[in-house]
Amino acid sequence: MVTRIASAILTLTGLLGLISGVLFWLGLALNLITLHMLLGFLAVAALWTIGIAQAGANGGSWVIAVCSLIVGALTITLGFYQASLVAGPLHWIIEITHLTLGILTIGLGHMGAARYRKANAA
């Protein structure tokens, strides 16, 4: 049940985070950066919950759990320091990296949730 709730939270916060990130790239809704950061923290917390829960399940993967912890930590760290990294015309590299980590957070979380459901169905 915890994994199902965490998966729903990950879906909602991940989608809203991606939408708000695109709005920032377009120069819109810049006053919502704090909300975007909160959505990122919640998405990573859901990722970590799913990663650890599926690792403890029968047939779970510790590799997915460790990857979840690493990707989550990188996502939070890069998101927090993003504004001060590579300022100027090459800042798009940091933005693309942050977007990639965000998508990886969502995908890895859903992969872990599917692994958990499969392990518990058997």
- Average model confidence (pLDDT) across the chain: 93
- Over 90: is that where the pLDDT of 88 sits? no
110: its two tokens: 């859903």
DSSP H or E segment with residue 83: none
pLDDT at 109 over 90: yes
Q: What is the mean pLDDT of residues 29-43?
A: 94
The alpha carbons of the chain give a radius of gyration, in whole angstroms, of 15
What is the token pair recorded at 37?
A: 């950061």
Q: pTM of the full predicted structure?
A: 0.92
In the structure, what pLDDT confidence band is assigned to residue 29 with cuts at 50, 70 and 90?
confident
Q: Secondary structure of 13-80 in the HEC alphabet?
A: HHHHHHHHHHHHHCCCCHHHHHHHHHHHHHHHHHHHHHHHHHHHCCCCCHHHHHHHHHHHHHHHHHHH
| pLDDT tens sequence across 43-61 | 999 999 999 999 988 888 8
Decide if pLDDT at 19 tops 70: yes
Question: Using CA atoms, how far apart are residues 4 and 90, in angstroms rounded to an integer?
Answer: 39
Whether the per-residue pLDDT at 122 is higher than 90: the answer is: no
| Domain definitions of the chain by residue range | 2-121
